Structure formats: structure tokens, C-alpha cells
Amino acid sequence: MQETIETPPVLQIPTNSKISYMDAIVQAQKEEMLRDERVVLIGEEIAIYGCGEVEETFGENRVRNTPISENSFTGMAIGAAMTGLRPIVDLTIASFVYLASDQIINQAGKLRFMTGGQLQVPVVFRASMYYNIGNAAQHSDRPYSLFMNSPGLKIIIPSTPADMKGLMKSAIRDDDPVLVFEDINLWTKKEPVSDDSDFLIPIGQAEVKRTGSDVTVITIGACLYKALVAARALEQEGISVEVIDPRTIVPLDKETIIKSVAKTGRVVIVDNAHRTGSVASEIAAVIAEQAFESLRKPIQRVTTPDVHIPACVAMERPLYPDKERITAAVKNIV
């Protein structure tokens, strides 16, 4: 009698599709809304700012377009989170977080502590940084540094489509409030991203984007790409640059940073935010406190000067870190 061989079931192995940074945001939200009916999207003109597909898929019961009243609808979302939902709040332009900051800092960030852990506030705040496009002073801030000083909040600044999708999904599943600062200069950037609906990147885990031995360059958000260009150019001159993207600034992966500094002994920190009280300042302080004995040269910061952003693009663009300024900072300590 011939033995019957059973055909094993075909496994659905997730593949990688090349998608944009904006597509990664939409995918992350759609997948999490399909996975968990408690996830809802609240914000201003959601369809206009990239999420029309989400609105069409889930309808007005789970996607709520709001009036231009950031403090009010942010408070509404926090209340919804406290009573069982998992809202994503789309604040559109990042400068609008100032208007919602009382709710974010004084309520979302403090209620778990003030209730002895009895309340959870699982809410995500999306803030799109509209800069480098002549949007003028009141719409061009990169205000993530401000919220580092407010305990109880987690803050992510993804720089690639894959990081955006994986971190956004982790943020939506997190039981604490998470601020997501996305860079509109990256919206069209594409790369292969996992199609796995459970593709997650842990909050608080940095990534070494390029290995090197002479200098550690730590980048925040979109500064990554300028740093990589500078690193490739410096390699032609015999200078080996290691590039680290923290991806999350709260909590900050200090271990990865300190390990790299111990190897290279030289540090350049690149940050699009204003210089004073910046993420670059905090990382520099951490290195000075925990890895001072490893440093061979002073820490260098490449940041935006403490000025308001002009409406004139030709005046605005030179303010931000670029390849030339990064290269000069590296050469200053090599």
C-alpha cells in the first residue's frame, strides 16, 4: 500500500513592499484599526492630510473630523482614552501642539501618576513638522524638545518609512501617551517595508544606521539623510563615521549611544530643532555625564540657530543642518 504524504499548509510569509513615509503612516493606522476596534482617528481635515483612505475604510463612527479647536478635541481624545478607546489625534501642523499642550502635558502625561496607576491614557498625538517650505514662523517649528521636559510622555521621531510604520504601530498599542513627530520633508521618501501586520519596532530602541570607527554622528529625524551623505563623502577622505538614529527621544536609548562613543571618542549631534534646550543639548549632557572619559575631543552640535523661521525659502533653508555643516563639525574634531 502506497504511503499517503500529506501536503503541508502553505505559510503566508510577509513580504516587503516599497512604500512611502506617508503610506507607512496610513498603513500603520489602518492595520491597527482593523486589529482593534477601540482604535479611532480624530483630527482636523483628516482626508486632506493623507488619510482619506482611512476615512473611506472606517467611516465617521471611527474617523472624526473636528473643528479647528486643538485644545478641545485633544481633551476629548484623552477622555475617550481614559474610558476605553485608543485614539489617534492628528494635530496636523506640529506648531499646533502649543494650543493642545495643556491637555497633553497636564492631563495625558500626569493622570496615570496622579491616580496611582488606576487610569491609563493610551492616546497617540501625531504632529507633522511643516518646515523648509516657506511656511513662516507660526507654522514651521520643530517642537519635540519642549515635550522632553514633561514626564509621562513618550516621544518618537521616525526618519524612515520602516521606522515610521513599526514605531507608529507600537505607539498605538502602548498604554501611555505617545507623541509622534513626523517630518513632511520625508513624506514621499520610499523604501521596502514589511507587510506583516505585527511588524513592530520597540519604543526606546536606537539603531546604528551606518557603522564607523572615527566619529559618532547622532541624528534626529530627517537629519539622518544629510548625515549619511556627509559620512559617504568623509569616507572618501579616510574618515570613518558611525551614524546613530535614536528614533525615540523619550525614552532615550543611552546604552547604544554610550557604546558608540566608547568606540570612537568623538561625537557630532545633528538636530533640526533650535539650539538652546534641544535634544542635541540633552544627548550632549548625557555623554558628558556618562562617557566623559571616552571623549578625545569636545562634543559638537549642528543645529538650527535660535531665530524665528522666515517666510522666504531662500532665507529659511540655510538655517538647518546640511552636509557642509556636518562635514565641517566632523573635521573640527578629527
Q: Which residues are catalytic?
A: 139
SS3 category, 219: strand
Give the whole-angstrom CA distance, residue 305 versus residue 18: 36
Which one-letter amino acid corresponds to residue 227? A
Give the whole-angstrom CA distance, residue 270 versus residue 114: 36
Q: Which residues pair with 267 in a beta bridge?
A: 216
* Cβ count near 81 (within 10 Å): 24
Give the whole-angstrom CA distance, residue 224 versus residue 207: 11
SS3 category, 26: helix
Q: Comparing C-alpha atoms, which of 148, 151, 93 is closest to residue 125? A: 93
Grid coordinates in use for 299? 562634543
Grid coordinates in use for 231? 559620512
Q: List helix spans (H) across 174-317.
A: 223-235, 254-264, 279-290, 313-316
SS3 category, 209: strand
Give the whole-angstrom CA distance, residue 117 versus residue 129: 32
Grid coordinates in use for 104? 497633553
Which one-letter amino acid corresponds to residue 196? D
CA 106 to chain centre: 22
